[in-house]
Structure 1
Amino acid sequence: MRPESTNGTSGGGLAVPMAWLCAEFLADEVLRTGGLVEPGSLEYRAGRRTLALTVYLCGAEDGPAGVPTASRLDEWLSVTAYGHPWQEWVRDRMAERESFDRDVSGTDPDLDLARDAWDWLERTELLAADLGDGTDPWHPALPVDPAAVESAQVWTPAWRLGLPLGHLAIHLY
């Protein structure tokens, strides 16, 4: 973290990653409001990090007291929608920010936390229900036997589970 940037403190303090902390707060608020998974679970953590990364990379021009505007919610819905190349979108946005960071300041504590979240989302795998052959994971052709659906599970990167969770939570917000 940059000691030369003090964000309002008197001399020599550490930079405060406010953009990332605000994105994480908004993601937490949206997921808790949706009530789709238990807070503290790995699924919740995947959803929160996926949504926080989306919020952070979209930018944070929100309404009063950090309340997201309708246009901001629409943007998040669009980015997290099924069929949108979210993983490539994240990689492109992160590369843009890293390039800007190298050109301007050297390091950015917000970007460091976003990078850590992205690393966790890519490298952590969660055991989730197998929703089909992967061609249309949100609308699978389910077997007739419901017990077969529950028992069919696959390991998947955390972002693949967090993305639809975040999308549904935005709808419920």
Structure 2
Amino acid sequence: MLHRGQESTDGTGGGELTVPMAWLYAEYIADELLRTGDLMPPTSFEFRAGRDALALTIFLSDTSGELSGIRVVTQLETWLSLTAYDQPWQEWVGDRMAELWSEARRTGGPTPDLDLAAAAWRWLEETELLAPDLDAVPGGGCVAGEDDGPKVWTPAWQLGLPLGHLAIHLF
């Protein structure tokens, strides 16, 4: 979503289109991390879930507005801690998004970056993917095989978050 009448990427304004560089950069980093990890085919919904969860983590962890200038290696530990299994990632995303929306209302409305982050968050929350049931009782009578075990509909963020976390580890 590009908006007219806001500042362009060089800050000059004047009715030019605004390019959501912070979101696009976060999405690019997430995409590269997942492709490097080679965990899922890039055309799969699982890959998209991982990319969006990781992009949200990257975008929302940039509290100083320096995303385009960061060095990925210096941020890996932060992203690992935010995406760890025992962390309340969903609540953190919700709180951070609320903070950004509140700030946007005070300063003249949402940016294209925030619009794209909100769309990714909405997709991650509202979309469910069929995934292996990791809570199933072992030895429940299923034939051994990759696709033969019990499956359960899982919110996309719950599938994408561990993929993103693993991709960071593999980097």
TM-score interval for Structure 1 and Structure 2 normalised by the shorter chain: 0.7 to 0.9
Is the aligned partner of 1:171 residue 2:169? Answer: yes
In structure 1, runs of 5+ residues without a counterpart are 134-140
The aligned counterpart of 1:82 is 85
Q: Answer yes or no: is 1:112 the counterpart of 2:112.
A: no
Q: Tell me the TM-score normalised to structure 2 length.
A: 0.87
What secondary structure, in the 3-state scheme, does the structure 2 residue paired with 1:154 have? strand
> What residue is the counterpart of 2:47 in the other structure?
44
Distance 2:145 2:24 in 1: 41
Residue from 132, 142, 147 that aligns with 2:144: 147
Residues 1-173 of structure 1 correspond to what in structure 2 (within 5 A)?
Answer: 1-8=3-10, 11-59=14-62, 61=66, 67-70=71-74, 72-132=75-135, 142-143=138-139, 147=144, 150-173=148-171
1:25-55 Cα shifts (integer Å, max 9, x gaps): 0000100000011111010000000000000
The share of aligned pairs that are identical, in percent, is 56
Gaps of 5+ in 2: none
**C-alpha displacement at 1:104, in angstroms?**
1.0
The alpha-carbon deviation at position 10 of structure 1 amounts to 7.3
Using the TM superposition, give the Cα deviation of residue 148 of structure 1 relative to its aligned residue in structure 2, in angstroms.
7.6
CA 63–109 in structure 1, closer or farther in 2 if over 3 Å, else same: closer
Residue identity matched to 2:155: P
Aligned residues between the structures: 164
Contact persistence 2:84–2:165 (CA under 8 A): yes
Q: RMSD across aligned C-alpha pairs, in angstroms? A: 2.2
Residue type of the alignment partner of 2:163? L
CA deviations on 1:80-139 (whole Å, 9 max, x unpaired) are: 000100000000000000001111121211000000000000011000000016xxxxxx
Other structure's SS at 1:82 match: coil
Query: TM-score, normalised to structure 1's length?
Result: 0.86
